[in-house]
Structure 1
Amino acid sequence: MAVVGAGDYEETRYNLARELGRRIAQKGHVLITGGLGGVMEAASRGAKEAGGVAVGILPGEKEAANPYVTVAIGTGMGHGRNAIVARSADVVIALPGLYGTLSEIALALKMEKPVIDLGDWNVEGMVRAESLEEAMEIAEGRGTAKKG
């Protein structure tokens, strides 16, 4: 499962992403992020704390990975790495972010991947989740999908 969102953060969003990463790992899933800071760091931290695997697909060199990434993949592709993030995931969970996050959402939808809206994206084709619990239920095929 991929978690995508802003590279900078405030405490509430950081804590949400951290808990999301933790739950993904606890359920036995591999976490995929862009490997940098903000939401990516928080989700990776949660996954690592839960004993899971956090894969970071980085825009540059693998040495730039946040300290919680367990498998760093340096692509040297800049924002082009967003396509790898989208392709590598079975499900994408999108928190608030900017254009990089929007590109990951668009690429995942174009690749016909399920994309869960845990922000305020309102992008057609995404499935809206009102809570972290609902996002996990939908991601694991147990929730009710409300397409946006």
Structure 2
Amino acid sequence: MRIVGVIGGSSVSKDIYDIAYRTGKLIGKRGYVLLTGGLGGVMEAASKGAKEEGGLVIGILPGGARETANRWVDIPIVTSMSHARNVIIAQTAEILIAIDGRVGTQSEIAFGHIYKKKIIGIRCDIPLPFDEVKTPEDAIALVDEY
């Protein structure tokens, strides 16, 4: 049974929500298991789509309360790990589909690379959160300014 992780932001536009929903529907229709972070936004939309097609939905939750899962999650897994749960998501999914997202999604993508997972992006334009410099001197100058 293939496990497909859908990762992305918890606050999204209607357009991104619709993309995640359609992605979830296709996952459910094919009989794949959907794995998400279990909350709102992209996670909720994909979960809803998969569930409407009879799919199984697993949510890896950041907190310790299963009630925080969106209503389409079949198997809520509480972790009390906050963003550290992203390791579990990246390690458990066979393939990751990143839709939009910010820093949390970026960490899931990074862990996906570490675990050599196939990663597919849809509208996933995540900037690198660091200042690029050319020399050690430039780096230390930024440290001095901070």
The answer to whether the Cα contact below 8 Å between 2:38 and 2:59 also exists between their aligned partners in 1 is yes
Counterpart position of 2:79: 75
Correspondence list, 1:1-148, <5 A: 1-60=4-63, 61-121=65-125
Superposed CA RMSD? 1.2
Give, as a single letter, the amino acid of the residue that structure 1 aligns with 2:54.
G
Select the structure that is richer in strand: 2
Q: How many residues align?
A: 123
The SS at the match of 1:14 is helix
The Cα of 1:120 is off from its aligned counterpart by 3.4
TM-aligned CA deviation for residue 121 of structure 1: 3.3
Q: TM-score, normalised by structure 1?
A: 0.80
In structure 2, what is the Cα distance between the partners aligned to 1:28 and 1:68? 16
Shift of 1:119: 1.9
State how far apart, in whole Å, the 2-side matches of 1:62 and 1:90 are. Answer: 24
Q: Highest Rg: 1 or 2?
A: 2
Structure 1: gaps spanning 5 or more residues = 124-148
Give the TM-score of the pair, scaled to structure 2.
0.81
Which secondary structure state, in structure 1, belongs to the residue aligned with residue 35 of structure 2?
strand
Write the distance in 2 (CA, Å) between the matches of 1:75 and 1:53: 19
**In structure 2, C-alpha distance between the alignment counterparts of 1:96 and 1:17, rounded to whole Å:** 9
Deviation at 1:122, TM superposition (A): 7.2
Query: Quick check: 2:7–2:96 contact (8 Å CA) kept in 1?
Result: yes
Distance across 2 between alignment mates of 1:39 and 1:83: 18
| Structure 1 segments (4+ residues) deviating >4 Å | none
Q: Taking CA–CA contacts closer than 8 Å with sequence separation of 6 or more, which of the two structures ends up with the larger relative contact order? A: 2
Identity %: 46
Distance in structure 2 (CA, Å) of the matches to 1:82 and 1:46? 22
